[in-house]
Amino acid sequence: MLSVRHLTKTYPNGKKGLQDVSFTAAPGTVTAVIGPSGAGKTTLLRSLNRLITPEQGTVTLGDQELRGADAQALRQARRQIGMIFQDYNLIEPLSALENVLQGCLGQKRLLPGVLGLYTKAETSHALALLDEVGLRAYAAQKTRDLSGGQKQRVGIARALMQDPKVLLCDEPIASLDPQSTRTVMTIIADLAKARNLIVVMNLHQVGIAREFADHIVGVNAGRIVFDDNAAALTELAAAAIYEKEATALA
């Protein structure tokens, strides 16, 4: 279980990124975080693996608390948290296979890691993951030559290479066409069930969130204004999440 309690983040310019945010995400489910632009969705997601450090609150994965963890403990915790990004963040001069292999760097010793020496088992695992996302034939291809949807699938395979307990997805379909959107969302939803993953995902599209998520968290102005099952997200509730007035009500 991923448990977030009373998370608060204020940026140096005084802007409130998160205000007393609490929710839980269960294994084998997809939690979609929705809300207007600038609502704090990315801040929330990046606080979960401490790419952003909140001032207050706790993020607990199993029995491990992340917000107060030291550098070593944080690196260990991050190995259990895979992440995919809106712009994929692949290393484009490298092949799809090399990008996927990077997912296991957090578990490697420094010298073999720096020398880029991967074991046969690691390479086989990476190839199997590329197969799982339907890109086995593109293993040797430079990722700069792949389409957006293919890049995102390489990103998913890279995250899975960590063998994570949690998968964080920061706007994973924002740069994709409708067909690639459905492919990527289907892969993520299936993975959550098949691997018992805790998936937390930022989304803009309410319809997609309803269709693929089990649990929806609505955020506005850094506060949670909705936290329920996907089925409970009525048109009215969705409108309230995206309304500016919701800020005042919250």
Q: Is the Cβ of residue 149 or residue 155 nearer to other proteins in the bound state?
A: 155
Q: How far is the CB of 147 from other proteins (least distance, A)?
A: 18
Site for other proteins in 1-40 (CB under 8 A): none
User: Whole-angstrom Cα distance, residue 84 to residue 173?
Assistant: 10
Q: Does residue 103 belong to the site contacting other proteins (CB under 8 A)?
A: yes
Binding mask 49-68 for other proteins (x = CB under 8 A): x-x-----------------
Could you say which of 12, 13, 37, 110 contacts other proteins (CB under 8 A)? 110
Could you say which of 53, 62, 116, 239 contacts other proteins (CB under 8 A)? 116
Could you say which of 23, 85, 212, 226 contacts other proteins (CB under 8 A)? 85
Could you say which of 39, 61, 81, 97 contacts other proteins (CB under 8 A)? 81
Q: How far is the CB of 103 from other proteins (least distance, A)?
A: 6
Q: How far is the CB of 213 from other proteins (least distance, A)?
A: 22
Q: How far is the CB of 84 from other proteins (least distance, A)?
A: 9
Q: Which residues bind other proteins (CB under 8 A)?
A: 49, 51, 75-79, 81-83, 85, 87, 89-94, 102-103, 105-108, 110, 113-114, 116, 144, 158-159, 162, 168
